[in-house]
Amino acid sequence: MSGRLVHGVGEDLVPADWPAVTLSQVKPVLAAFGLPAMAVIWHSPRPLSAAALVAAGDRTVFVKRHSTEVRTVAGLAEEHAFAAHLRTRGIPVPEPLRTSRDGTVVRRDGWTWEVHERGDGNDLYRETLSWQPFYSATHAHSAGAMLARLATAGEAYVAAARAPQPLVTSSGAICSRDLVTGLEGYVAARPMVQAALAGRDWRADVERDLVPLHRRFAPYADELPAGWTHGDGHASNFLWGPAGEVSAVLDLGLSDRTTPILDLATAIERNAVSWLSPSPEARLDVVDALLRGWSSVRAISEVEAVALPELLAVVHVEFALSELGYYHGVTHSAENAQLAYEDYLLGHARWHAGPEGRSLRRHLQSVLGRLAGA
């Protein structure tokens, strides 16, 4: 465990699971990209990998180091290929650098490394926790619009869903007619998740807390279009221009082939509910701004309008299980694994089934009914 402090699963900073990127480490990595490493000028506080901005001659690059248990060369290649497609469609995604062998990933010292151009714009949320809302409705509106642009570009990306791996926002199980059956397949393909669930009566928990919510979404799943999505539309994954507009989209690490409105539901889940509060509440101003931004670029179909309030209640399920597997099998934190299971997987579902969640669902139904009919 590192001595540096990073974001945890709550409001407090915690000791990092991964040691910080050092100059001595990064010099041979950048050399593979034909760059000199001069200084590490900032360390990211995000907890699931180690990342830094590095001065490299007359430019600054973003360096990210992964555990090989989390990202392999092939896993990062999936992300980089999607990013390349998005750039051809005008989505401002920073470009990964290429090595002298024309690759975009380096394996060194037991780690998997990637190096990106620094994106254009201000990193206004780089110290902000992942469950905090946008600073303004302007930011939420712009993020919604950019996610809609990205989702439209993602529909045109012809690639299969990603291979099973930790920390990806997938949707195969929640788009199944029967949630327990879908999750059985999801778990069987992911040994770390399977090991984390051993000894838990997870099927009974899912039947109690998630199946009633999933039954409301399942009838619409087959009617939703398929497409690649970002998977983590939190404010910290955008850079910002002077007028509050999104100027760059960061971190496609959670991306996968899902359905376009999954990105809208995920953005609401990540930014519009105060999950870190003892009594979480929905920020309806953030919800409305995200919806207005999205619909200003991409029309919300009638089936999407009906499905979205129901999808929101279960959109977290597969990523929560992925985090459970990560904490159990990679960082070996029983405490965080328990939080991922009880507070995230089940706790968010219970909130959606309770009065605050029902109120948010009714609000979404009302606003989406107007937007889909406009």
What does 244-264 look like in DSSP terms, one character per residue?
S-EEEE---TT-EEE-HHHHH
What does the mean pLDDT of the chain come to?
A: 95
Whole-number pLDDT of residue 186: 98
pLDDT at 3: 59
Residue ranges in the chain whose pLDDT is less than 50: 1
Taking the C-alpha atoms of residue 304 and residue 307, their distance in angstroms, rounded to an integer, is 5
Three-state DSSP class for residue 78: helix
Read off the tokens for 193: 């998740």
Q: Taking Cα atoms as reference points, which of 86, 265, 74, 258 lies closest to residue 161?
A: 258
Backbone angles phi, psi at 70, to 5 degrees: -105, -45
E strand or H helix at 41 = strand 39-43
- The two structure tokens encoding residue 56: 């490299």
User: Would you state the pLDDT for residue 36?
Assistant: 97
The token pair that represents 26 in the structure block: 């990064």
How much is the pLDDT for 15? 83
Q: What is the chain's alpha carbon radius of gyration, rounded to the nearest angstrom?
A: 20
